[in-house]
Amino acid sequence: MKIVRIHNELLGTYGDRGNGDVLAYRASLAGINASVIDITYRDAIPHDGDIYLLGGAEDAAQILSCNALSGGALHGAVEKGAVVLAICAGFQILGKSYFAHGQEQRGLGLLNMVTVPGPDRYVGDIKIHSELLGIDLTGFENHGGKTILGAGTESFGRVKVGSGNGDGGVDGAISGNIFGTYLHGPILARNPEFADLLLSRAHGAPVKVSDPLADRYAALRREVVK
């Protein structure tokens, strides 16, 4: 299993690199041979990845990364069914447009949504309920953007604590195997069930990992974020 961590030097401001580490670790516990490949801004994006990861970033880095991804390799991988997990700035660039440096920027158009500047910066612990997983997920959000989902675009979860896409209603977006969210933490460290869902999608068969320490940590976060 090839896990492609895209532009961590640009999209690594909020610790989201850990999502790749958690996926590779849980894959190894499940007996799946997986490796994380770090792709820098200067590298070509591989077409044959099973999971692509994008993280949070500052404005200038977000623009650079989005421009480097506009070549179409990620679009091609998505068409072939690759799994994408995109956090915060990485999530925003998957939409039709986003704001950086106070200006509207063209996004990758993989998700039917737009992101505009919010009235305030949203900073703090966040808890959402995922219908897909049937559980609450916790994380930390830190963003100035407000994301508006287009008609037919499904959200990732319903916000119970925090702001999510900006109005406290829903967080993130899902389309096929693309998952976008504002949850840092990293999200897969705090929500191992979600890591297993992504591994299952990429593996083509259910993956259920047993790691008591991960479960205890996830339960603790769900207990304290309220």
Partner 1 sequence: MKSPRLSLAITIAQATGALSKALGRGSGETLPGRVLLALCPNAIELLSQSRVVILVSGTNGKTSTTKELVSQVRTVGTVVTSASGSNLTRGVAGALMQDSVFAVLEVDELHLPAVVAATNPALVLLLNLTRDQLHRMHEVKRVASRWHEMCVSADPSTLFVADVDDPFVNYAITGAASAVRVSFGGATGGRHPDGAVCPSCGRYLDWNEGRYHCECGLSNEYADHRFDGGSAGYRNFVLASVAADLVGVHNSLSNIALRTDYRGMERATEKNFAGVKARIRLTKNPASWTEALAGVTGSNVILVLNAREVDGIDTSWIWDVSYASLAGKKVVVTGERGADLAYRLHVEGVESTLVETFDQAIAIFGLGSVEVLAAYTAFFGLVNR
* Spatial distance between the Cα atoms of 32 and 152, rounded to a whole number of angstroms: 35
- Rounded least distance, CB 124 to partner 1, Å: 7
Contacts with partner 1, 86-125, as mask; x by CB under 8 A: ---------------x-------------------x-xxx
Output b/e per residue, 87-101; b: 16+ Cβ within 10 A.
Answer: bbbbbbbbbeebbbe
- 140 forms part of the interface with partner 1 (CB under 8 A): yes
Question: Is 152 or 212 the residue whose CB approaches partner 1 more closely?
Answer: 212
Q: Which two tokens stand for residue 108?
A: 């990758």
* Spatial distance between the Cα atoms of 46 and 74, rounded to a whole number of angstroms: 8
* Spatial distance between the Cα atoms of 41 and 63, rounded to a whole number of angstroms: 11
Per CB under 8 A, the list member of 2, 46, 64, 97 interacting with partner 1 is 64
Backbone phi, psi, residue 31, to 5°: 80, 15
- 217 forms part of the interface with partner 1 (CB under 8 A): yes
Residues that bind partner 1 (CB under 8 A): 9-10, 12-18, 21-22, 25, 41-42, 58-61, 63-64, 101, 121, 123-125, 140, 142, 184-186, 189, 213-214, 216-217, 220
